[in-house]
């Protein structure tokens, strides 16, 4: 570990030795600082300041960096589909079932004209295409990965866009729910960090958002 004193607010914080020579943001004020190359004096200071056995149980405020061990995935969360859009789901189901009923009735000419079988097939195909597009765009396209060190949002399947926030830098976790979303326990989740002004990670239709917030809070430096 390397200890850095922020050029702007003079707060000391720790970075991994692998970041030497690069640039990092101060977790307090967001100022960009250059990471010095480690030397004998820096190594000695880092060894003295590094968490010792038993430090994990010491109370907050000791100036120790949180240590949750090697990074491990806790869970992967994807936006809900039918829970987030129940009326759309009912419409899709009605289209599928209605098309199937027309196909079955068309097999009995005395009930309905045989020509309605084509309409039934079209309705079923439309429902299938709609479900596939909805599943890919709303469920597969976006995912939220939570590890013991950070929260990562990834968009896309072939081409990807990634945003992440370290748990130790989380400043606020925002949750929004409409009345219907509260009934089905889904909602909006937004995460902002101490180094940025706006919300860095946003995701809609997240299932059980308060449980997700509680999981992130377990690993925050609060």
Look at residues 67, 59, 216 and name the one whose alpha carbon lies nearest to residue 144. 216
Which region, left, alpha or beta, applies to residue 55 given φ > 0 means left and ψ of -120 to 50 means alpha?
A: alpha
Question: Is the pLDDT reported for residue 176 higher than 90?
Answer: yes
Task: Assign domain 142-218 to a CATH class.
Answer: mainly beta
Instruction: Give the pLDDT band (50/70/90) at residue 57.
Output: very low
> Quick one: pLDDT at residue 22?
76
Q: Where are the domains of the chain?
A: 2-51, 86-139, 142-218
pLDDT in tens, 133-171: 988 887 888 889 998 888 989 888 777 788 888 888 888
Band (128; pLDDT cuts 50, 70, 90): very high
Whether the pLDDT of residue 173 is over 70: the answer is yes
List, for residues 81-91, the tens digit of each pLDDT value. Answer: 898 899 999 99
Q: What is the pLDDT confidence band of residue 193, given thresholds at 50, 70 and 90?
A: confident
Q: What pLDDT does 52 receive?
A: 47
Sign of CA dihedral 98, 102, 105, 107: negative
Q: How many residues does the chain have?
A: 222
What CATH architecture applies to the domain 2-51?
Answer: Single Sheet (2.20)
Poorest-pLDDT segment among 29-43, 61-75, 180-194: 61-75
C-alpha torsion sign, points 172, 17, 31, 5: positive
């Amino acid at each position: 570990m390397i200890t850095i004193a922020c050029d702007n607010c003079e707060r000391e914080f720790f970075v991994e030795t692998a970041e030497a020579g690069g640039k990092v943001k101060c977790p307090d004020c967001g100022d960009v600082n250059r990471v010095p190359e480690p030397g004998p004096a820096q190594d000695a200071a880092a060894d003295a300041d590094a968490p010792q056995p038993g430090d994990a149980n010491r109370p907050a405020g000791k100036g120790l960096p949180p240590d949750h061990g090697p990074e491990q995935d806790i869970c992967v969360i994807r936006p809900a589909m039918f829970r987030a859009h129940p009326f759309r789901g009912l419409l899709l189901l009605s289209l599928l079932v209605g098309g199937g009923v027309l196909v079955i009735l068309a097999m009995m000419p005395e009930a309905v004209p045989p020509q309605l079988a084509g309409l039934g097939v079209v309705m079923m195909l439309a429902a299938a295409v709609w479900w596939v597009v909805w599943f890919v765009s709303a469920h597969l396209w976006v995912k939220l990965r939570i590890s013991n060190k950070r929260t990562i949002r990834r968009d896309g399947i072939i081409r990807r866009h990634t945003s992440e926030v370290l748990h130790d830098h989380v400043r606020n976790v925002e949750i929004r729910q409409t009345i219907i979303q509260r009934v089905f326990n889904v909602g909006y989740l937004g995460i902002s960090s101490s180094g940025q002004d706006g919300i860095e990670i946003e995701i809609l239709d997240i299932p059980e958002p308060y449980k997700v917030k509680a999981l992130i809070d377990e690993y925050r430096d609060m």
